[in-house]
Chains A and B, each alone.
Chain A
């Protein structure tokens, strides 16, 4: 990856706790989160997954989703994200993040388009 490549940032406090997304205070210890850890080049494990067939406005249908766990220096951190495919995916499988410029259509749903980002990482079976 080049330096310009989008990063998949988890947030870490001085005590080594890692969360995704970040918080004003670390949910584990209350310390400030002072650095980021890029998850985009790492391999994660599927904790659980689903395929949603009744999706809201602006969301692909069907929408495959997974909760994925990464390990960063012995600390686990989880992220929820779309799966590129649900074919053959099961709990415990390895997946890798793949960047997508637009995960759902901004403005099609109720949320103000400018209030948040719409790009991010899908998970692809490794």
Chain B
């Protein structure tokens, strides 16, 4: 997470352990910008898989709404290279640059991006923890103010406060705690170029491809096995890129899946049943943890009105503009 930068409070893992009566448990903070939650899953998985811990608590959280949008955007943009930062580049502007290239390259209509927002807002209405629980129609999205041409206000996630937690242990002792648990069958992390314009194909997120390859191999699964997925839709265009780079759809065809309803809650591969970052909100460090929370609920049959039929779920958490990515595969035991 980036809490030190937003609030001037660092050393938060220490505070948390003390507040939860968890002393002297070892604590650490994981910083991978927007992917800190997913990176935390990776670290928590490592701690248990290595035998170093037999019970690990992961908590992600962020307090952001006290900052203006400009200030919060600047804190996030501080992850960029100096040659990018000096031009006033922001993560939303990377999204605008990428969206224009994607629409041009694959002949995708602007409306298809809007349909991601419409779908995720619709899903979010059934998530009691979501920041926005309001449907939006396509016209509202397409007529909202331009933020980073061709993307408009409703193509972006909001600025959000919030937190989420996960508890990990070896599967062999899970039933000592509960009968309702899921298994981390695959987890992978990868890094792409720090400088975004140095990527050979601006419409591919290499970190998504690489991290998912690792996760699929560990889980002995492939994209066709995934029943439900939470993707990092910080911007609508990112849902297209990830759905392709995770291998769900051919490159350049992610937009068609949204058009055809494949990724709707009642579609063949529901994506962002939680409402995604788009409607749920995006407290940086919490988002990757909350993605896994949604998959956990789906696999346990606890997702209420959002419930879909799923035994294998995937969460993809993206930091920077794809600079660092984790992919996690969760399954019923």
Give Cα A116 to B87, complex, Å.
12
Instruction: Check if B195 is an interface residue, CB within 8 A of chain A.
Output: yes
Give Cα A49 to B137, complex, Å.
27
Determine if B82 and A116 form an interchain contact, defined as CB atoms under 8 angstroms apart: yes
Overall SS of chain A's interface: loop
Determine if B197 and A103 form an interchain contact, defined as CB atoms under 8 angstroms apart: no
Q: Within 8 Å CB of A57, what residues of B?
A: 70-71, 74
Determine if B149 and A51 form an interchain contact, defined as CB atoms under 8 angstroms apart: yes
Q: Within 8 Å CB of A103, what residues of B?
A: 86-88
In the assembled complex, how far is the CB of residue B203 from the closest CB belonging to chain A, in whole angstroms? Answer: 9
Interface positions, chain B 239-261, Cβ under 8 Å from A, are none
Interface positions, chain B 178-234, Cβ under 8 Å from A, are 193, 195-198, 202
Instruction: Check if B135 is an interface residue, CB within 8 A of chain A.
Output: no
Q: Within 8 Å CB of A51, what residues of B?
A: 96, 146, 148-149
Give Cα A23 to B100, complex, Å.
28
Determine if A27 and B82 form an interchain contact, defined as CB atoms under 8 angstroms apart: no
Contact with B along A83-126 (1 / 0, CB 8 A): 00010000100000000000110000111000111111000000
Q: Name the one of B88, B197, B198 contacting A104, with C-beta atoms under 8 angstroms.
A: B88
Interface residues of B, count at CB 8 A: 41
Give Cα A120 to B87, complex, Å.
8
Contact with A along B73-85 (1 / 0, CB 8 A): 1110110011111
Q: Work out how many contacts link A and B, with CB atoms closer than 8 A.
A: 129
Instruction: Check if A19 is an interface residue, CB within 8 A of chain B.
Output: yes
Give Cα A109 to B88, complex, Å.
9
Q: Please give me the residue from chain B that is nearest to A22 by CB atom.
A: B83
Instruction: Check if B90 is an interface residue, CB within 8 A of chain A.
Output: yes
In the assembled complex, how far is the CB of residue A123 from the closest CB belonging to chain B, in whole angstroms? Answer: 10
Interface residues of A, count at CB 8 A: 40
In the assembled complex, how far is the CB of residue A26 from the closest CB belonging to chain B, in whole angstroms? Answer: 11
Instruction: Check if B147 is an interface residue, CB within 8 A of chain A.
Output: yes
Instruction: Check if B69 is an interface residue, CB within 8 A of chain A.
Output: yes
B residues with CB within 8 A of A: 5, 69-71, 73-75, 77-78, 81-90, 92-93, 96-101, 104, 145-151, 193, 195-198, 202
Interchain residue pairs A-B with the least CB separation, the first 6: A50-B96, A59-B88, A56-B74, A116-B82, A48-B101, A52-B93
A residues with CB within 8 A of B: 19-21, 27, 47-60, 63, 65-67, 78-82, 86, 91, 103-104, 109-111, 115-120
Can you list 23 A-B pairs, Cβ within 8 angstroms, ordered by A? A47-B202, A48-B104, A48-B202, A50-B96, A50-B100, A52-B96, A53-B147, A56-B70, A57-B70, A57-B74, A58-B88, A65-B97, A79-B197, A80-B83, A81-B87, A91-B104, A104-B86, A109-B85, A110-B78, A111-B78, A115-B82, A120-B83, A120-B87
